[in-house]
Amino acid sequence: MTSPVAVCEAALSGLPESLLAGVSGGVDSAALLHALVQSGRRPVVAHFDHGWRPESKADAKWVGNLAAQLGLRYVEGRMRKTGKKHREAEARAARYAFFARTGRRLKISHLILAHHADDQVETFLLQLLRGSGAAARGMDPVSVREDLIVHRPWLGIWKTEITAYARRYKLKWREDATNADTRHRRNLIRRRVLPYLQKQVSRQVVENLWRGAEIQRAEGEWLDALCAETAGGAELPVNALRKGPLARQRRTILRWLQHRGVKDINFADVEAVRGLLEHRIPAKVNLSAGRFARRRAGKIFVE
């Protein structure tokens, strides 16, 4: 059996030398930073303080000290105070915006994050439960966000393996007490839903969900490639799209709406636009943010 150390280190092969590393201070990101340095890389350490917890400033200081001990450059960002509690999606967007600003300023275009197989399972299950449909595929090992190429090389490595790596090197890390708070959906999935499914359905349910996400992701990439030319256009050709398979129609419409800047797309939105492929009245459907899709002269477009 391959050791956790070998597994964690092998997954970093092929990464670029110039990297921005997102480090929260938890065991995952602390182990990732250590493994990057072990591989000979000198990433810039980026930490974002959401300011949600009393100890968040101490976490930021700890990560800064860790970077200094390793002789690495450290950059810190903080959530802007607005007097109201931020939602998780807003906090995530603010964190990525910070990474993007830092990357542009330092002329670094690659960001590496420590998401792992357990995170992938939780993300995939949450996507399914939220009704994401074709978009339910977990996280991509490589993606683009906010002008950054985002690398997640440990999506195939389990938390237990990462913790074993950290213990092997006697690493220190920060524990986030809010990870035990099941009022947060991800914690609820991790601490109650998945253990219940393992007990009532199958001990392999976590591994099976991970495989499902991997299959969905790979098949999704293939479908996206088939739909890329049509989905990237300013308009959708009604006749050509109508003749294609149902799965191709839906994926093309989903990606086309995303390319046109439509937000919060759900299954009903895709089906509504797909209804425009039939020559029926009305030839207009409402979308989010006051926008709508219209059929005219054999084309569908967003207004």
Model confidence pLDDT, tens digit, residues 148-180: 999 999 999 999 999 999 999 999 999 887 777
Is residue 175 exposed (0-12), middle (13-18) or buried (19+ Cβ within 10 Å)? exposed
Name the residue with tokens 């839906």. Answer: 250
Chain segment 224-271, per-residue pLDDT in tens: 999 999 999 999 999 999 999 999 999 999 999 999 988 878 888 899
Q: In the chain, where does the domain assigned CATH 1.20.59.20 lie?
A: 232-302
CATH class of 232-302: mainly alpha
Average model confidence (pLDDT) across the chain:
91
Within 10 angstroms of residue 285's Cβ, the number of other Cβ atoms is 18
pTM of the model: 0.89
In CATH, 4-195 is 3.40.50.620: yes
Q: Indicate the range of 142-151, 201-210, 261-270 predicted with least confidence.
A: 261-270
Q: In the chain, where does the domain assigned CATH 3.40.50.620 lie?
A: 4-195
- Considering 69-83, 131-145, 198-212, 271-285, the range whose residues carry the highest mean pLDDT is 198-212
Q: CA dist 29 to 114, 121, 237, 248, Å?
A: 5, 18, 46, 38
Amino acid at 45: V
- Give the C-alpha separation, 19 to 231, whole Å: 32
Q: CA dist 65 to 21, 37, 75, 110, 173, Å?
A: 15, 15, 12, 23, 12
Alpha-helical (H) ranges within 70-184 are 88-106, 117-130, 159-168
Radius of gyration of the chain (CA): 22
